[in-house]
């Protein structure tokens, strides 16, 4: 079975055709439980998310701040496994038809096996992977299997990336480019900053791929600001925090559905 890279492309193109940015939500698998995590993904999609990233919980998530680290710890203590991540992708995709990606560090894939991981992700209906710590120059094996199975390979660029480096990264990637709005880890910020707009401009000069911005966006105003210059707005910590702050799982689902609705309005006010 082939993965859903084409669905990802048509979804991002459809948002652009509506003169808006896409809303991309991030939630970790297995948080607060595997079943609860699947329901949370369905809730953000019901609220208006166009694309969802499923985080593969990791014991040393170098890109992630304390909010997502807390959720990862809950998932890991609950015994989450890669099979649960695949189940989350499968059930979320089957229920909604929305493109679902996995965001993961390289070590779990390396240990699991690249061919096994890509084949299972495609079979589950996944659209691709975001790989924040896989160097492009060491990605040939991954990209070979991802392409064979119809999966996008999304690389992360940062404000520190030089223009030549940006060109190398974007030439190797597919699906979209993940532009980190600032140097640092994930988390909500009072301001997304001008660095993000400059980075999007420099990245677009090297590629026709959509450029989506993450790190720091937590409310409709910030979503509207980023939607003014990016093809997609990526929100993670704000959704996870809403779940963490809720008194129970039902309230958490209501909170992330409501937040997705607000953010979806924000990306339409670019």
Give the pLDDT band (50/70/90) at residue 189.
very low
Q: Is residue 38 a contact partner of residue 93, using CB atoms and an 8 Å limit?
A: no
Q: What is the mean predicted confidence (pLDDT) over 27-54?
A: 98
Q: Are 44 and 239 in contact (CB under 8 A)?
A: yes
Q: What stretches of the chain show up as alpha helix (H) in DSSP?
A: 5-17, 34-47, 66-77, 82-96, 106-112, 114-123, 140-148, 163-172, 194-204, 220-227, 237-245, 249-267
Paired with 100 in beta bridges are: 52
Tell me if 234 sits within 8 A of 178, measured CB to CB. yes
Which pLDDT score is estimated for 237? 92
| DSSP letters spanning 14-29 | HHHHTTSPEEEEEEET
For 20, 123, 165, 170, 194, the CA distances from 162, given in Å and listed in that order, are: 28, 37, 5, 12, 17
Mean pLDDT of 95-104: 98
pLDDT value of residue 188 = 46
Mean of pLDDT over the chain: 93
Distance CA 231, CA 211 (A): 5
Tokens 């014991």 correspond to 59
Distance, first Cα to last Cα, the chain: 37
**Contact between residue 211 and residue 172 where contact means Cβ atoms under 8 Å apart:** no
- Per-residue model confidence (pLDDT) at position 63: 64
Q: What are the residue numbers of the active site?
A: 53, 64
The confidence score (pLDDT) of residue 263 equals 97
Instruction: Give how far the C-alpha of residue 139 lies from the chain's centroid of Cα atoms, to the nearest Å.
Output: 19
DSSP state of 239: H
Kindly report, residue by residue over 9-30, the tens digit of the pLDDT. 999 999 999 999 999 999 999 9
What pLDDT does 191 receive? 52
Q: Which two three-digit tokens encode residue 87?
A: 């189940």
Residue 269 has pLDDT above 90, yes or no: no
How far is residue 216's CA from residue 189's CA, in Å, rounded to a whole number? Answer: 5
| DSSP summary character for residue 136 | G
As given in the structure block, the two tokens for residue 194 are 């001008």
């Amino acid at each position: 079975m082939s993965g859903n890279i084409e669905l990802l492309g048509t979804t991002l193109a459809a948002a652009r055709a509506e003169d808006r940015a896409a809303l991309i939500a991030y939630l970790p698998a297995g948080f607060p439980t595997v079943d609860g995590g699947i329901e949370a993904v369905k809730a953000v999609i019901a609220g208006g998310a166009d694309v969802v990233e499923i985080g593969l919980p990791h014991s040393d998530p170098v890109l992630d701040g304390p909010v997502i680290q807390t959720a990862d710890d809950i998932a890991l203590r609950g015994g989450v496994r890669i099979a649960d991540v695949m189940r989350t992708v499968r059930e979320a995709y089957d229920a909604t038809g929305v493109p679902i990606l996995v965001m993961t560090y390289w070590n779990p894939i390396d240990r699991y096996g690249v061919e096994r991981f890509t084949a299972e992700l495609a079979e589950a209906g996944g659209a691709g992977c975001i790989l924040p710590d896989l160097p492009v120059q060491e990605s040939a094996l991954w990209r070979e299997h991802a392409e064979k199975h119809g999966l996008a390979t999304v690389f992360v660029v940062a404000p520190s990336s030089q223009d030549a480096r940006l060109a190398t990264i974007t030439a190797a990637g597919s699906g979209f480019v993940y532009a980190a709005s600032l140097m640092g880890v994930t988390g909500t910020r009072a301001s997304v900053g001008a660095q993000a707009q400059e980075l999007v401009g420099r990245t677009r000069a090297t590629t026709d791929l959509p450029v989506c911005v993450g790190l720091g966006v937590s409310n409709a105003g910030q979503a509207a600001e980023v939607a003014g210059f990016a093809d997609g707005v990526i929100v993670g910590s704000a959704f996870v925090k809403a779940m963490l702050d809720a008194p129970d799982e039902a309230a958490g689902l209501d909170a992330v559905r409501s937040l997705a609705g607000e953010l979806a309005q924000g990306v339409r006010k670019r």
